[in-house]
Structures are given as structure tokens and as C-alpha cells.
Amino acid sequence: MATEIRTDALVIGAGPAGLYAAFQLGLLGLDAHIADALPDIGGQCQALYADKAIYDIPALPPCTGAQLAAALLAQLQQIQAFAPIENRLHLGQIITSIERDGDSYRVSSDKGRVFIARSIILAAGVGAFAPRSLNVAGLSDVAASLHHLPGAATDFAGQSVLIVGDEDAAVSWACDLADYFAQTPAAGSVTLNHRRASLNASPAVQARLDDLLAAGALHFQAGIIQGLEQNQGQLQSLQLLQPDGSPLTLPCTRLGIVLGLSPKMGPLADWGLALQRRQLPVDSATFATNLPGVLAVGDVVTYPGKLKLIACAFHEATLAAHAALAYCAPDRVTPLQYTSSSALLQGRLGQGA
């Protein structure tokens, strides 16, 4: 049987709203765990713009999505009761079901993890993210040859690599592999592919690509992948339709597909939550959904005046955490306290005597 994790609150979603909600729960003295479908923290910030600057986070100079996620995790790590924080993070897990279990919820993931939680805070953004793929027959038969994340360059030594994509993540990966192949005796080849010759890379990344193309260390091929050849599950080559309508066969033993992530509502739509155009209507005073003890914050919610901004999600997360406290400990009288003056809160953060 799966090991059950009992907790006051389960936060579903490890983006900025979810990480900050967990921090607020810890400040309030509640036990909390965090689950996310992605393998890393940060949600959309990490998955979609890890290297792009964000300019409107309160009190922070421009920071990247990855830097924001790291800062929020560092803040969360201050909660003494949550140490080690790795034991509170359950990443790469899609929550598949939520069932009422007495005065709690029984929450199960696709990896067999089971949580028994008094309260749930949904910070699921626009749903669980899955890598976008290509509509090419036979692609599922060569799964061992497919990659959606760069991984270690050494894993591609001696391979004919084709990377599909036009933004910084794809172009940078192709450039990194080209540099690696140029510096190692275990040579390989790398080709960048996009349906058009024009790319959507930042100026610095485009300049790096241009230098490697000029040096012959990297190749670019415009066109649409229409078919493949494989041998016992190992990719051998790809058939492309070039922009001029002519066919082209390219040797390829490793295919990198970097076309971003596609949000999917997934199992959330089957949990008995009221939905309004794929969003959750909530009470903007408590961020309560129609299910008792289930709160929701961030891009997944809607209410009058809703703005999809990270700054607003922090406000929502704070109020949802206080609502979770009222649900988990209805008899506890907890006046509003401030970290600047409360010995209790400072103790929870490991500060003071």
C-alpha cells in the first residue's frame, strides 16, 4: 500500500503562488506539503521564461523566472518546521484524484503518493504542463531517441542531433552541443530546425548562433518534419518538406523537440470543482472554491477584478493561507502578527534567541 502523508494543507502547484502560499502556511504554524506536475519548482516562471527578465516583482530589481523561483524557495526554507525542504516537495507528480475522507481529503498522485490533508490550496496556474510534441507518425516508437530537455552534452556524443524550435531554449541547446562537439574527440553533429528561416531568439543568442553557423560548427535547416525512419526503436533519419516544397532526408539519431509547454486542465476538471471557462470562481475574501477547505489562487482562479499578475498572486496566497488556518484549526484564535515584531513568527523562521 502507498505510504500516506498526513498534513494540515497540501499545496498543488510549485509556482510563485504555491511557494508563497506554503511560506504563509508555515508562518501560521500549519504543516504543509507541495506537489507539482513539473520536475522543478517555479511553475510557468521556470518552464516558460526561466532566463527572461521580470520587472514587476515587488521590491526586486529585474530578475529571471529561475531567479524568482530560487528566491521563493530560499524564503520557504526559513520555516524551521519544514526542514529539510526537499521532504516537502513532491515534484513530477500529477494529482489524479481528490476524495473526501471524513474531515479531510485523500489526494492521490500518478506516482502512487497519497496525501491526507485537512485543506488544499490549488495554485495550479493554467493546469499541468506537458511538452509540446510533433504530429509525426511513428514518433512514439522511437521514444528512446526523443528529448524535450537538454540533459548532459556527453549523452549526445557521437550522435546526429536535430533540435526543433525557434526560441532561446532550443537555439541555446543547439549552440551548446555545437561547442561540445567542437571540443571533444567523440564528435557528433547538430542541426537546428524550424519551419521558417526566421527565428524568435534574443539578439545575444542569435549572434551566438550566427557565429557557429559561419564557422560550420552548426547547421540550420528550414522545413517541416513529415516522417522518420527507425530501426528497432532507434531513430535513423527524418524526412523534411523544405520551404520550396522539395523533400529532404536528414540523418538523425537523436531528436530534441523544444516547442514549449502546453497547459492541460487534466484531472482537475473531474474533482467536483465548479468551473467557469476553465477557471475556478472563488470568494475573493478567502479564495474558497465550492468545495469546503479547498482554496485556489493564481492564474487558475477568476473573480471580479482579477488580474493575472504575480504580485496579485502573492496577495491571494496570503489570504488563502489564513482561510486554510481557519478551516484546519477553527478553535485557534490567531491575531494578525508581524514578522518584524512577533517572537512567535521569528521563532518559526529560526530567528531570535
**Does residue 75 carry a pLDDT above 90?**
yes
Rounded CA gap, 310 and 45, in Å?
10
Minimal CA–CA distance to 47: which of 136, 149, 143? 149
Specify the pLDDT at position 312: 96
- Averaged pLDDT, 214-225: 96
Q: What is the pLDDT of residue 262?
A: 63
The reported pLDDT for the residue numbered 353 is 59
Q: Does the pLDDT of residue 50 top 90, yes or no? A: no
Task: Supply the pLDDT for residue 84.
Answer: 95
Specify whether 219 is located in the same domain as 288: no
Torsion angle defined by CA atoms of residues 89, 301, 260 and 271, in that order, rounded to the nearest 10 degrees: 70
- Residue 57 has a pLDDT of 93
Mean pLDDT throughout 89-114?
A: 91
The band of 129, judged by pLDDT with boundaries at 50, 70 and 90, is: low
Q: Does residue 235 register a pLDDT over 70? A: yes
Residues 234 and 328 in one domain: no
Q: Is 70 within 8 Å of 58 (Cβ atoms)?
A: no
Find the mean pLDDT for residues 216-242: 95
Decide if 117 is inside a domain.
yes
Q: For 123-152, what is the mean pLDDT?
A: 82
Domains identified in the chain, total number: 2
Residues 56 and 111 in one domain: yes
pLDDT, the chain, mean: 91
Contact partners, residue 137, CB within 8 Å, separation at least 6: 227, 228
Per-residue confidence (pLDDT) for residue 150, from 0 to 100: 81
Residue 353 within a domain: no
Residue 90 pLDDT exceeds 70: yes
Reading the block at residue 125, the C-alpha cell is 496556474
> CA–CA separation, 41 vs 93, rounded Å?
12
Q: Are residues 183 and 103 in the same domain?
A: no
Domain termination site, one of 207, 239, 259: 259
User: Mean pLDDT: which of 45-54, 127-136, 262-271, 339-348 is highest?
Assistant: 339-348
Q: Domain with 122 in it: what CATH number?
A: 3.50.50.60
Q: What pLDDT score was predicted for residue 185?
A: 74
Mark whether 289 and 251 lie in a shared domain. no
Highest mean pLDDT: which of 225-229, 274-278, 348-352? 225-229
Do residues 40 and 104 both lie within one domain?
Answer: yes
- In this predicted structure, the answer to whether residue 266 has a pLDDT above a threshold of 70 is no
Tell the residue number behind the cell numbers 467536483, with chain if given.
272
| Parent domain of 246 | 133-259
pLDDT above 90: residue 271: no
Contact, 297 vs 17, CB < 8 A?
yes
Tell whether 330 and 272 lie within a shared domain.
Answer: yes
Q: Do 253 and 281 lie in a common domain?
A: no
Look up residue 188 and give its amino acid.
G
pLDDT (0 to 100) of residue 260: 74
pLDDT tens for 322-333 read 999 999 998 888
Tell whether 17 and 60 lie within a shared domain.
yes
Q: What does the pLDDT average to over 275-299?
A: 93
**Is 266 within the bounds of a domain?**
yes
Residue 92 pLDDT: 87
pTM to 2 decimal places: 0.69
**What does the alpha-carbon distance between residue 244 and residue 247 come to, in Å, rounded to a whole number?**
9
Final residue belonging to a domain, choices 238, 259, 280: 259
Helix (H, G, I), strand (E, B) or coil at 302: strand
Write the pLDDT tens digit of every residue in 332-341: 888 899 999 9
Sequence length of the chain is 353
- Of 259, 284, 319, the residue that ends a domain is 259
Same domain, 175 and 283: no
Query: Mean pLDDT throughout 120-138?
Result: 81
Q: What residue type is assigned to position 326 of the chain?
A: A
The pLDDT tens digits of the residues spanning 153-195 come to 888 999 999 999 999 889 999 999 999 999 887 678 999 999 9
Q: Is residue 186 part of a domain?
A: yes
User: If pLDDT is split at 50, 70 and 90, which confidence band does 47 have?
Assistant: confident
254 and 270 co-located in one domain: no
What average pLDDT score do residues 33-50 get? 85
Residues 287 and 271 placed together within one structural domain of the fold: yes
